[in-house]
Chains A and B, each alone.
Chain A
């Protein structure tokens, strides 16, 4: 290797590119050269993207029309729309769809609001603000599995910290994760606590971009804090808000770790989500065909919801 490098740097040895330019009448134009180089540089990324992102999507689409047991990859057979037909009559699927929709519908607006509130809170130019930023952001960088296990302890019906605090106010022990009516809401609460810090950072970046002059102008016009927020801050954050809402929606749809760690999808299936079901059918029950059909439907749902949201939120 050393030898190869030295050879190249020897003064006599001509620069290969210059040589091409000098001797070859069909030499590339600078523009063309840049294009080729660009493709060359992006090739590794493109290859990875194709292998690990595009190819699996294509395969999932193909497998969704097959009877494919994971342990018998040699015995795949095409069964047409059977898997999709089964989906329509599968109570588990409809339940998972309902739970996923509920989670998304509650988490997206709530989490975005909380994140905006946090961002406004830590945007103040006071000393504690940066401490607040660290405080609110730290759950985001913690692994979701760790957070989920910790919250399982917090939610414990007999010995959990939250119930101990509630007891102080005379509220009896709540079966947070053991009741079909409370389990999903408990997961929603901890999910917002965990993830809001991320959206907060995005909102914060948006807030920093709002020109100070606008506030000054508003002040001269006699606007109070609330009017300033309503008529200056919010309109300036329009694009950031759209981005946050769409990103949060996509994340919310993918809910898996929390129910997997905390409730096993129970009790009575009340926290089973689409991604959970996809994992269960595909890996645990080794029915790759059916699992692929779920993933295709999931893909279509997430794609159309985000497209609709984009259409509504980003007008120009």
Chain B
């Protein structure tokens, strides 16, 4: 009985192997016939593309653009695109790191502005100097953010900024009139006074809301406060952070923000829609917030400029997701074609409208008439006049993460200087390690 069982098993196994072989044969023959077909009509180049998952509108717009590109180059180029979940931390970056370490990056990949330096320095994206059409049309901040050393590594269809959104009715009730031109942008004191007036703890209303997630957001939204006060994060050439990250100007800027938390003008654990629900009067948020607010048409919304330090100029953050060409690509020419298609005037406009972000090409702005009037004019003014890129350094991952942690601790009452000293020493150590 047992022997029979054994024999039966071996037959099953043999049959299994036979099945495996035959299906393998099928695959091979399929490929062969494919090759034959494409051989007769020219080789189809396969391009792979990664972009982080974002809003429904953005995903739809990008899908449309890729499909259109595929249609235009039918039989020549085939783009397969993938939207990768990002979470509120660094999940997308982790995926890129993993792919880079196994040389399996896509031909074109989307990357956040501050990662350009690190990726370029590590040789996972390549220079695209001379490959981009009509480059003078881009706003300066896009070029600055995409440049590492003396070469351009990345270019994107949209820009981004952070401004102060407000609930028109609540401000009117409190008798507060926010500024409508760049020169009149609120100073810190005016901003603070407004937030204080608007806060009504008894009714659970906060003067201002700023999201406190754990990823890139913290340096993005708080950067302008620091720069406006002539503070900074790291030397221009990335050589040192000591005395800059923990300079008196940077400390002063963060002590200003800390005051909001200390006095309860901002909620440290807000619900995701605190501002939309009318439980916060103002909100420091990215330009994309305007699209979200359209889902709340019953309330009138306004936008005003990012507040400036009394000692300095008005500054706004810049740097959006941008496109780079990986060094793993074997189809530089086709990838450049797609890159130009993604960032041309028409598609830049399409993506800008879908995301509610400012366009990266000045010419695209000409067709965004809504952006010439308030409130969206505020965002346009900031992008063109006062935008400031985040630090460009190969130590950016450490800088961004450690600074974000420090700012959170600061909001919870930690000593500003102590926290920034620690960030400085950790970034310094990373700079040292990288230069080894």
A residues at B contact (CB < 8 Å): 1, 4-5, 8-9, 15-18, 33, 37, 67, 69-73, 156-159, 177-179, 260, 264-269, 280, 283-288
Contact = CB atoms under 8 A, between A and B. Distances in A.
A17 B6 CA distance: 8
Interface stretch (B50-58, B118-126, B367-375): B118-126
B122 A5 contact: no
B15 interface: yes
A82 B306 CA distance: 46
A284 B397 contact: yes
Contacts of B10: 16-17
Given A9-B11, A15-B7, A284-B401, 12 more contacts: A1-B15, A1-B22, A16-B7, A71-B119, A72-B122, A158-B267, A159-B271, A179-B412, A265-B405, A267-B412, A284-B397, A285-B398
Given A156-B269, A159-B271, A266-B408, A286 B15 contact: no
Given A4-B18, A15-B7, A266-B405, A157 B268 contact: yes
Contact of B100 (A15, A70, A260, A287): A70
Interface string B7-45: 101110011001100100000000000000000000000
A194 to B, nearest CB: 21
A156 to B, nearest CB: 5
Contacts of B98: 283
A285 B430 contact: yes
Q: How large is the interface on B (under 10, 10 to 19, 20 to 34, 35 or more residues)?
A: 35 or more
Top-5 shortest CB links A-B? A71-B122, A264-B214, A4-B18, A283-B94, A1-B19
Interface of B: 3, 6-7, 9-11, 14-15, 18-19, 22, 89-90, 93-94, 97-98, 100-101, 103, 118-119, 122-124, 204, 214, 267-269, 271, 397-398, 401, 404-405, 408-409, 412, 414, 430, 433-434, 436
Nearest to A179: B412
Contacts of A178: 268-269, 412
B74 to A, nearest CB: 36
The binding surface of chain B is classed by DSSP as: helix
B90 to A, nearest CB: 6
Contact of A17 (B7, B18, B90, B119): B7
B3 A17 contact: yes
Contacts of A9: 11
A285 B15 contact: no
Contact of B436 (A4, A8, A67, A70): A67
Contacts of A285: 397-398, 401, 430
Contact of A72 (B89, B90, B123, B401): B123
B167 to A, nearest CB: 19
Contact of A8 (B6, B11, B430): B11
B408 A264 contact: yes
Contacts of B90: 283-284
Contacts of B89: 260, 264
Given A1-B18, A159-B271, A284-B397, A69 B408 contact: no
Nearest to A281: B398
A17 B118 CA distance: 62
A267 B397 CA distance: 19
Nearest to B4: A15
29 contacts: A1-B18, A1-B19, A1-B22, A4-B18, A4-B22, A9-B11, A16-B14, A17-B6, A69-B434, A70-B101, A71-B100, A72-B122, A72-B123, A73-B103, A157-B268, A157-B269, A158-B267, A159-B271, A177-B269, A264-B404, A265-B405, A267-B408, A267-B412, A268-B414, A269-B405, A283-B94, A284-B401, A286-B397, A288-B101
